[in-house]
Amino acid sequence: MYKCINCGANSLRWVGRCPECRSFNTMEEAEAESAQPKVARFKKKPPEIPPVTVSDVRYANPLNRIPTGIKEFDVSVGSGLVAGQSVLIGGDPGIGKSTLMLQVAERLASGGRKILYISAEESLNQIILRAKRLKIKSETLFFQALNDINEALYAVSDGEYGFIIIDSIQRITTPRSDAAYGGINGLREIAHEITSACLKKNCGIFLVCHVTKEGGFAGPKTLEHMVDTVLYFDSGKRDSHRILRCYKNRFGSTDEIGIYEMSENGLSGVKNPSAYFTSERQPDSSGSVITACLEGTRAMLVEVQALVVPSYMPVPKRVCLGIDGGRVSIIAAVLEKKEGIKLSSKEIYVKIFGGITVQEPAADLPVAASIVSSYMEKPLPSSFMAFGEIGLTGEVRGVANPAARIKEAASAGFGDILIPQSNLKDVKDMKGFGNINFHPVSKLKKIIEYLT
């Protein structure tokens, strides 16, 4: 019996492509579901706790956040952890999952909590060596090397730990011979058992999870449903940089990201992400425009670059990195139709620096400005930054949270802001950011005026 790890479809024989969801290489061997008669399997019984209403004070405790003190991590999980929270954390091999978990464990333990780090992949010797390298000293952080689910369950129920870290869930085995280690049914069962046990004891749990070649979590999708928070550890543009993204969070926003730098002493948060994304910018070069994009509630400056070159192909190339190609094509079409900039005979290359992907409409205006700047070979003055959405008639529309973007730009020394006209009323009374000059734009034409 084979089961698709993506959609759960069954197949009697192995197939390369799932007949249901059409994804490749997702069929894995699984035990057949039991064919017992349905009537005998369930029996009604009164639940331990009867239904309650919202006014029931016993359940009205506010969520007490537990900040780890690692600012970037707290940002990613939405201002700190919650007692009993279950977190799934994935990432490419060697990206630094174990390092991050050790550092988080240390910070949680230094707050006086009892923490258990279960290493199912590395020996005690290896993990202690790493802990020493990371200067971990807490006396309430315990290490254990084990693989058996029953031993892990014992630790949860009898250990009185505040948080337990399992590195990694794929290496925990069940003694049941039919659910082989790594098999999806076994994995689902293990994750279910361990998260349920933790929920009962109000013990927080971190499950480190392998990822597949395509970057998804290895194992059934249900693993993501079982936990409160799903984090994904990604590498940025440079080798030493890592980005921690939150894909699901029952206790906060999912759009927050944390940026880290890996060094011998472990991961440290990048204090000023805007400087990181724009540090290597060459001022006064045509085709480069700074914008502020929102990642959750935090604004970050990123550099948008465009290169416009003549094309000798019947269909000119449009290559986009870090931004949706469709969006760039729309902007190019609007520039051609409304402003008469002949882009249909040009190749357009657009790139967002820093290894992040910008999905916001606010990137439209900077993309348009960088394309026009490269087309005209005229740089935008280096004190300028821009944000705004572009409509198909060439109008520039307002975007969400202009104040946060301007604050970030002002703190990085950008004093001239190309801002959608409709956003101006929200921010023109802003004070305390030095001398900011607002340049309101309501039509794309205005951008061309600034460049000529």
Ligand X SMILES: Nc1ncnc2c1ncn2[C@@H]1O[C@H](COP(=O)(O)OP(=O)(O)OP(=O)(O)O)[C@@H](O)[C@H]1O
Residues that bind ligand X (CB under 6 A): 91, 93-99, 121, 262-264
Tell me how far the alpha carbon of residue 78 is from its chain's centroid.
12
HEC string of 216-260? CECCCCHHHHHCCEEEEEEECCCCCEEEEEEEEECCCCCCCEEEE
Does position 249 bind Mg ion by CB under 5 A?
no
In whole angstroms, the minimum distance from the beta carbon of 122 to ligand X comes to 8
Short-list 284, 370, 381, CA closest to 322: 370
Nearer to ligand X, 48 or 264 (CB): 264
**Closest CB 275 distance from ligand X, rounded Å:** 22
Scanning the structure block, which residue is given the tokens 């949270």?
A: 401
205 vs 365 by CB, closer to ligand X: 205
Q: Compute the distance between CA of residue 346 and CA of residue 329 in angstroms, rounded to an integer.
A: 12
Judging by beta carbons within 10 Å of its beta carbon (0-12, 13-18, 19+), is residue 149 exposed, middle or buried?
buried
Q: With respect to Mg ion, which residue has the nearer C-beta, 96 or 322?
A: 96
- Nearest-CB residue for ligand X: 98
From the list ligand X, Mg ion, none, pick the one residue 262 interacts with, judged by a Cβ distance below 5 to 8 Å according to partner type. Answer: ligand X
Q: CA-to-CA distance for 77 and 164, rounded, in angstroms?
A: 17
Going from the C-alpha of 172 to that of each of 180, 309, 362, the distances in angstroms are 10, 55, 45
One character per residue 309-348, x = contact with Mg ion (rule: CB under 5 A): ----------------------------------------
- Do the beta carbons of residue 392 and residue 330 sit within 8 Å? yes
Four-point Cα dihedral 22, 24, 28, 33, nearest 10: 0
Residues 87-116: x where in contact with Mg ion by CB under 5 A, - otherwise, as a string: -----------x------------------
CB 331 within 8 A of CB 390: yes
Beta carbon of residue 374, minimum distance to Mg ion (angstroms, whole number): 43
* C-alpha to C-alpha distance for 419 and 421, rounded to whole angstroms: 6
Shortest distance in whole angstroms from residue 127 CB to Mg ion: 9
119 binds, among Mg ion, ligand X, none (CB under 5 to 8 A by kind): none
For residue 109, the minimal CB distance to ligand X (Å) is: 18
Tokens of 161: 């730990």
Choosing among ligand X, Mg ion, none, which partner's interface includes residue 95 (Cβ < 5 to 8 Å by kind)? ligand X
Residue (193 or 261) nearer to ligand X, CB: 261
Q: Fill in the DSSP letter of residue 323.
A: B
CB closer to ligand X out of 104 and 334: 104
Question: Out of Mg ion, ligand X, none, which partner does residue 107 contact, by CB within 5 to 8 A per kind?
Answer: none
Question: Least distance to ligand X from the beta carbon of 42, Å?
Answer: 40
CB of 101: closest distance to Mg ion in angstroms?
8
In the list ligand X, Mg ion, none, the entry touching 51 (Cβ below 5 to 8 angstroms by class) is none
Q: Which does 288 bind (CB under 5 to 8 A by kind): ligand X, Mg ion, none?
A: none
For residue 330, give the nearest of 393, 260, 420, 279 by alpha carbon.
393
Question: Could you list the residues that contact Mg ion (CB under 5 A)?
Answer: 98
